Structure 1
Amino acid sequence: MDVGLIGEVSRSSILQRFQKFGGKRFIQFSQVRMDHSMIVVTKRQHISVVQRRAMYEALLQASDSGELEKGAISTVASHFSVSKRTVSRIWHLAKSQTDHGLPVDLSSNLAMVVGRKRVQVDLNQVLDIPLRRRTNIRSLANCLNVSKSTMHRRIKEGALRPHTNAVKPTLTHENKRARLEFCLSKISWSLSSQIPTFHDMFNVVHIDEKWFYLSKPSRRYYLLPSEDEPLRTCQSKKFITKVMFLAAVARPRYDASGNEIFSGKFGIYPFTRLEPAKRSSKNRVAGTLETKPILSVTKEVTRSWLIEKVLPDIRDKWPGGQLGPIFIQQDNAKPHIDVNDIEFLEAASRDGFDIRLSFQPPNSPDLNVLDLGFFRAIQSLQEQEVLGTIDELVHAVETSFERMESQQLNNVFLTLQTCMKEIIKVQGGNNYQIPHIGKNRLV
């Protein structure tokens, strides 16, 4: 309620003066009366549909053949703490509807009248705005000549959708042909059903390298309003400690009952070496062995890690009963050795195994399960740890690798098959979206 002093003026003049001084900004008023040379402005009471229906039913009980008993309106108005005029209006509205054979509808007719009016935005103009001007809400709102809040509401309503665009490798005509041939080579035709199906890929081991960092330049936290913001510091954001890891995985296997036979994980191997400390410090004395990352991974280093680490784990963990050659699929990075490398072929043929190297098509990270999603899943677990040294980083990555469930790895292989299917559709290109197939619901 807002009260002020004024002389005797008309009701319309009172409303105009009240609006002029900002009264409409704070309350909606339906009644202005004079009381001893004072303006008394009462706030409009909102009556819900349920309350309107309850008033109408109470009036029906106090009526006989459509005629209200004496004093019924006053009684109902006093019971619901509303004016007699409001009750009378509800009764006459319902009676008029029943007299015309219409169902009683007591909903408010002010739904599209009161409140702030919706700002009209012609979203068809968005197509004429260059993409470079549609990278943030401020720029887009400026081009459409509307406020940022209006633009934000349209996005929340779904009229506009945010899209994060990632840069993809440029593909030449030869790249597209190689990708298409690679995907078609993974398909087999059944003579009985004439339906093409993908190979199970049980004899393919995917290997790849990835940098894992001790910390990230920017991280997102969710804090309480009263909570202090964390302070993270480092000497330089350009030289955050990092270690490269080589991972080797294959497709998991299950028996007829769904029990895991083989997890598909051979191992993840850091490119590190032990070096004696050159001088003493508060943390260790001179000569103490320290873990140092290998920042320059050459072909010699890659060959050594394959022969000394990857091949022994494949021979130890490979499930029994598998016949035929085993292919280690790698990308076309310069540190990777050739498929006819003599030292590797000699080590790969030991103990009755036939292990071979193969290259995936150039510029095709979407054809390797590690790049496709498994590395990111490992990294999401590793980033939840508090790390301070290289040894802690190595332990966190190896622990995260072991914690990953085999079902998640199998899901990435299913995603790989959907990518191959889309690559065939676009004739070897990479201009496609990975479809959702509900992998967790597949039997």
Structure 2
Amino acid sequence: MERLINLNSKKSLTNEQRQAIYQRLLQESSNGKLRKGSISDIANSYAVCTKTISRIWGRGKLHVNEESMVDVSLKKSKSVGRKKKQINLGEVKGLPFHRRSNICSIANSIGVSKSTLHRRVQEGALRTHTNAVKPDLTEANKMARLEFCFSKINRSLSNNDSTFDDMFNVVHIDEKWFYLTKSSRRYYLVPGEDEPLRTCKSKKFITKFMFLAAVARPRFDASGNEIFSGKIGIFPFTTLEPAKRSSKNRVAGTLETKPILSVTKEVTRTWLIEKVLPAIRAKWPQGHTGPIFIQQDNAKPHININDSRFLEEASRDGFDIRLCFQPPNSPDLNVLDLGFFRAIQSLQEQESLGTIDELISAVQVSFERMGSRELNNVFLTLQMCMKEILKVRGGNNYQTPHIGKGKLERQGNLPLQIDIDENLINEVGSYLGL
């Protein structure tokens, strides 16, 4: 039985193992003869067939008899088995992008099997790419983006180590819809496990809420301890309304949370004055001097930077808080759109939600769970994106750059600001006519 197990194992030996086996066989031999049971013992210890050990011993004795150097390495050629079927990468590259959206389409177009193409993807001959639609930019948009990024550069007196602004005085705000559930979700099940059943009245009208989020760049002391988390707050656009009639869940008159589905300028002004400004005054680190800018996009519900009611409230308690706009069609210039919203949503979707209040609680808890260091990394990514925007002269035809922030942080080399080459600054300055 033991021999049958060894025969079926089909374990291959490396050349180093074969050489070690031969040396052990020499130790077990006397006058060219092996001790009884040596081959079986060695075969069991390496989990191989006894014939394999016998062949190694036979080849070793043959070399000794020929007085040549003993070589018991495997004699198989380096390329064995069925030959790999090659694909013409030039033929794949010649296909239009809309024919390269899945393996089946590519395989049919170039005349190979799906399994062959799938193996080439696993080997890295072809790479997968998820393509997101980006805003269509006009020339005016590109110039506005270019001027905005150029204005964030701190020019060095020596003209050798210019960097982007540290952005400690900017609060980024934006709105986002969060849904009670998604129409399609992926789960990983064990064999035989029942598939989950999820139901709703209509997939077109899944319960959703809009939230207004506000974040600033975190601050740390010289030892790396957090001074300011940067998380100002996330505020749902909701209102409390009494129930008009009784149901099995509540009696008439019970206050219920209802979404504000139409966010107007008046609603935005109210949320800024009653929620965002008090949160900034309560959480902003002490000792800050100079104005604090609230950066918003160009959505129609956003109020003007000279709104009288906002300016009156923004100057209270010794604060100087101002509004400013980011360039049009530029979600990549807001840290919330750049990555922080996705991180919050990823955490929120890990919760099982059944009611409106559970959704609001899950979003707010996810917002608080996000670490300040992750938020700081998004600010560094924003500066890297600004650098790329300068390179492409205001466009958005660039890949989001990565500098290995996690590794740099572990090494203690994470920069506070991203450096920018002086030649690039001069080129962009000339392009802008500055």
Same fold (TM over 0.5): yes
SS at match of 2:398: coil
- Give, in whole Å, the separation in 2 of the partners of 1:262 and 1:43: 64
Partners of 1:73 and 1:84 within 8 A in 2: no
SS at match of 1:82: helix
- Give, in whole Å, the separation in 1 of the partners of 2:9 and 2:106: 39
In the alignment, structure 1 residue 109 sits paired with structure 2 residue 71: no
The residue type equivalent to 1:109 in the other structure is K
| Aligned pair partner of 1:260 in 208, 226, 237 | 226
Do the aligned partners of residues 193 and 51 (structure 1) sit closer, same or farther apart at CA in structure 2, a change above 3 Å counting? closer
Q: Paired residue for 1:434?
A: 400
In the alignment, structure 1 residue 360 sits paired with structure 2 residue 326: yes
Map 1:289-368 → 2, pairs under 5 A: 289-368=255-334
For normalisation by structure 2, the TM-score amounts to 0.83
Q: Paired residue for 2:146?
A: 180
Question: What CA deviation, in whole Å up to 9, does each residue of 1:200-238 have, x standing for no partner?
Answer: 111111100000000011112222123221111111111
Map 1:195-234 → 2, pairs under 5 A: 195-234=161-200
Q: Paired residue for 1:241?
A: 207
The residue type equivalent to 1:321 in the other structure is G
In the alignment, structure 1 residue 286 sits paired with structure 2 residue 252: yes
- Give, in whole Å, the separation in 2 of the partners of 1:85 and 1:408: 61
Q: How much does 1:141 deviate?
A: 1.3
Q: Paired residue for 1:156?
A: 122
Do the aligned partners of residues 331 and 107 (structure 1) sit closer, same or farther apart at CA in structure 2, a change above 3 Å counting? same
Gaps of 5+ in 1: 1-41
In the alignment, structure 1 residue 194 sits paired with structure 2 residue 163: no
Partners of 1:378 and 1:397 within 8 A in 2: yes
- Give, in whole Å, the separation in 1 of the partners of 2:21 and 2:285: 77
The residue type equivalent to 2:235 in the other structure is Y
| Aligned pair partner of 2:13 in 41, 48, 65 | 48
Do the aligned partners of residues 86 and 435 (structure 1) sit closer, same or farther apart at CA in structure 2, a change above 3 Å counting? same
Do the aligned partners of residues 155 and 73 (structure 1) sit closer, same or farther apart at CA in structure 2, a change above 3 Å counting? farther
Partners of 2:291 and 2:322 within 8 A in 1: yes
- Give, in whole Å, the separation in 1 of the partners of 2:177 and 2:391: 33
Question: What CA deviation, in whole Å up to 9, does each residue of 1:114-165 have, x standing for no partner?
Answer: x333223222321112211111111111122111111111111111111101
The structure whose Rg is larger is 1
Count of paired positions: 395
Q: Paired residue for 2:93?
A: 127
Q: Paired residue for 1:91?
A: 60
Q: How much does 1:422 deviate?
A: 0.9
For normalisation by structure 1, the TM-score amounts to 0.82
- Give, in whole Å, the separation in 1 of the partners of 2:259 and 2:333: 28
The residue type equivalent to 2:262 in the other structure is S
CA RMSD of aligned residues (A): 2.7
- Give, in whole Å, the separation in 1 of the partners of 2:174 and 2:296: 6
Deviates more, 1:189-198 or 1:128-137: 189-198
Partners of 1:74 and 1:84 within 8 A in 2: no
In the alignment, structure 1 residue 250 sits paired with structure 2 residue 216: yes
| Aligned pair partner of 1:166 in 109, 124, 132 | 132
Q: How much does 1:87 deviate?
A: 5.3
Question: What CA deviation, in whole Å up to 9, does each residue of 1:294-315 have, x standing for no partner?
Answer: 1111111111111111111112
**Percent identity of equivalent pairs:** 68
- Give, in whole Å, the separation in 1 of the partners of 2:78 and 2:158: 64
Higher relative contact order structure (alpha carbons within 8 Å, sequence separation ≥ 6): 2
Partners of 1:171 and 1:429 within 8 A in 2: yes
Q: Paired residue for 1:21?
A: none
Gaps of 5+ in 2: 1-6, 44-49, 413-434
| Aligned pair partner of 1:423 in 386, 389, 407 | 389
Deviates more, 1:321-330 or 1:45-54: 45-54
- Give, in whole Å, the separation in 2 of the partners of 1:394 and 1:237: 20
Partners of 2:60 and 2:72 within 8 A in 1: no
The residue type equivalent to 2:79 in the other structure is M
